[in-house]
């Protein structure tokens, strides 16, 4: 298939008016089947990868329900998030093992929905003081042996783990875990020096920057300052319009550059659902409009109710150039979990997973494995 007339995302050149050829399930230099897709007036971008979301449409990855995971994969694909790396909450090891096994089974057996490319273990190696919406009863000290068991249970699908760098054993954990997965700092009270040490030992990511960590201040720059000073580190940013002020979104893109920001949705099960009360990792959350908070702590945000494609649009509305926003939601997340060889840009040889946005940045079509959905 030839996609014609659109502005095509090019990592180096920006948006370029050119044709994009798909051959079967891959992007190609030419197309043989004679089909065309008219993308006149549209932006043609790589399918997005969300490395930090919990659920949507009533389902949550942490439920361990295979049908729920399928519901999530189907919903995300319809929204142009063609690769998913769902995040598990803080749970007991039994339940984490169950969701890791479920992910491996899904990868093996599922025939529809977004491609499951990874699992993010956001819990349980976090700080009680910065647990946010995580269940404090189920937190666990950093434990590389447990992580290894979970990686094995997932058949190697675990790609990302979040850890609080100040917890006892965290530095040893990072030194071992970095050999297996991308290690992220988050839900942490770590100061600048502790975070710098963790980044020097091989951590390379920050989980939802600013949320569930000490603030960035002039005498105590914390994880934010350490991430900024560590050139290999990428930072997640929830761009739902609720978690981070627009000025801070702009400041982060300036400070880190568009190559180091990873947009995430951090979306909850009530994404795509009506207002109401919903279960969440052993707790309850209340959804009202675009805010989701803990039922017993109405000031604690529990996550977002915007999917990643919505976050790209929100970033653009906040003044981030569209090319930078797409880079942060397609290219950088794929690099962060080591799948950029196959996903995340529109070079020949990559998966033919493409989203088409109209001039108002509304999603017009999703092309998955070379077929228009
Ligand atoms: Zn979190």
Model pLDDT, residue 366: 98
Model pLDDT, residue 282: 75
Half-sphere exposure of 364 (CA within 13 A, CB side): 16
Q: Please state, in angstroms and rounded to a whole number, the distance separating the CA atoms of residues 163 and 23.
A: 41
The distance in angstroms from the start CA to the end CA of the chain is 14
DSSP letter, residue 207:
S
Output the CA 162–ligand 1 centroid distance in Å: 9
Q: Please state, in angstroms and rounded to a whole number, the distance separating the CA atoms of residues 13 and 21.
A: 18
User: What residue segments make up the domains of the chain, in order of their start?
Assistant: 2-44+360-372, 48-342
Per-residue pLDDT of the chain (373 residues; tens, 9 = 90+): 999 999 999 999 999 999 999 999 999 998 888 899 999 999 999 999 999 999 999 999 999 999 999 999 999 999 999 999 999 999 999 999 999 999 999 999 999 999 999 999 999 999 999 998 888 999 999 999 999 999 999 999 999 999 999 999 999 999 999 999 999 999 999 999 999 999 999 999 999 999 999 999 999 999 999 999 999 999 999 999 999 999 999 999 999 999 999 999 999 999 989 999 988 767 888 999 889 998 998 888 888 999 999 999 999 999 999 999 999 999 999 999 999 999 999 999 999 999 999 999 999 999 999 999 9
Which of 281, 326, 277 has the alpha carbon at shortest distance from 80? 326
Output the CA 235–ligand 1 centroid distance in Å: 13
Model pLDDT, residue 281: 66
Output the CA 88–ligand 1 centroid distance in Å: 10
Q: Please state, in angstroms and rounded to a whole number, the distance separating the CA atoms of residues 164 and 242.
A: 24
Output the CA 204–ligand 1 centroid distance in Å: 17
- Show the 3-state SS of 57-89: CCEEHHHCCHHHHHHHHHHHHHCCCCEECCEEC
Q: What is the CA radius of gyration of the chain?
A: 20
Output the CA 163–ligand 1 centroid distance in Å: 11
What are the residue numbers of the active site? 266
Model pLDDT, residue 283: 81
Output the CA 205–ligand 1 centroid distance in Å: 14
The angle at the Cα of 203, spanning 200 to 205, to the nearest 5 degrees, equals: 125
Helical residues (DSSP H) of the chain, grouped into ranges: 66-78, 93-109, 144-153, 170-177, 192-200, 222-229, 246-256, 308-317, 322-326, 332-336
Output the CA 214–ligand 1 centroid distance in Å: 14
Q: How far is CA 38 from CA 42, 43, 45, 139, in A?
A: 9, 11, 14, 51
CB atoms within 10 A of CB 274: 6
Output the CA 371–ligand 1 centroid distance in Å: 34
pTM for this prediction: 0.96
Which of 240, 350, 265 has the alpha carbon at shortest distance from 10? 350
Please state which CATH class domain 48-342 belongs to: alpha beta
CB atoms within 10 A of CB 272: 18
Joined together, the tokens standing for residue 344 give: 């995340």
324 close to 239: Cβ distance less than 8 angstroms: no
Output the CA 33–ligand 1 centroid distance in Å: 45
């Amino acid at each position: 298939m030839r996609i014609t007339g659109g502005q095509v995302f090019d990592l180096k050149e920006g948006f370029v008016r050119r044709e994009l050829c798909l051959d079967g399930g891959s992007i190609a230099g030419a197309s043989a089947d004679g089909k065309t897709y008219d993308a006149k007036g549209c932006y043609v971008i790589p399918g997005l990868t969300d490395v930090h979301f919990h659920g949507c449409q009533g389902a949550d990855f942490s439920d361990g329900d295979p049908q729920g995971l399928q519901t999530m994969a189907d919903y995300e694909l319809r929204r142009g998030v063609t690769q998913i790396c769902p995040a598990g909450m803080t749970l007991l090891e039994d339940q984490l093992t169950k969701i890791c096994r479920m992910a491996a089974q899904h990868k093996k057996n599922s025939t529809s929905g977004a491609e499951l490319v990874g699992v993010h273990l956001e819990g349980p190696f976090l700080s009680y003081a910065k647990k946010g919406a995580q269940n404090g009863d189920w937190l666990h000290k950093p434990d590389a042996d447990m992580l290894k068991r979970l990686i094995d249970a997932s058949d190697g699908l675990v790609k990302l783990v979040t850890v609080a760098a100040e917890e006892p054993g965290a530095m040893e954990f990072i030194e071992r875990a970095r050999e297996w997965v991308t290690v992220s700092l988050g839900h942490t009270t770590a100061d600048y020096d502790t975070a710098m040490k963790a980044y020097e030992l091989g951590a390379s990511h920050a989980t939802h920057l600013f949320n569930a960590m000490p603030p960035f201040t002039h005498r105590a720059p914390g994880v934010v300052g350490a991430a900024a000073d560590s050139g290999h580190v990428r930072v997640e940013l929830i761009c739902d319009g609720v978690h981070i002020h627009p000025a801070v979104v702009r400041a982060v893109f300036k400070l880190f550059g568009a190559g180091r920001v990873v947009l995430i949705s951090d979306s909850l099960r009530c994404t795509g659902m009506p207002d109401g009360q919903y279960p969440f990792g052993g707790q309850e959350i209340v959804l009202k409009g675009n805010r989701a908070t803990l039922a017993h702590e109405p000031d604690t945000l529990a996550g977002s109710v915007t999917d990643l494609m919505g976050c790209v649009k929100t970033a653009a509305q906040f003044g981030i150039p569209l090319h930078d926003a797409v880079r942060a939601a397609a290219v950088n997340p794929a690099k962060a979990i080591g799948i950029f060889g196959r996903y995340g840009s529109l070079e020949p040889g990559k998966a033919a997973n493409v989203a088409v946005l109209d001039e108002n940045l509304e999603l017009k079509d999703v092309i998955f494995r070379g077929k228009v959905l």
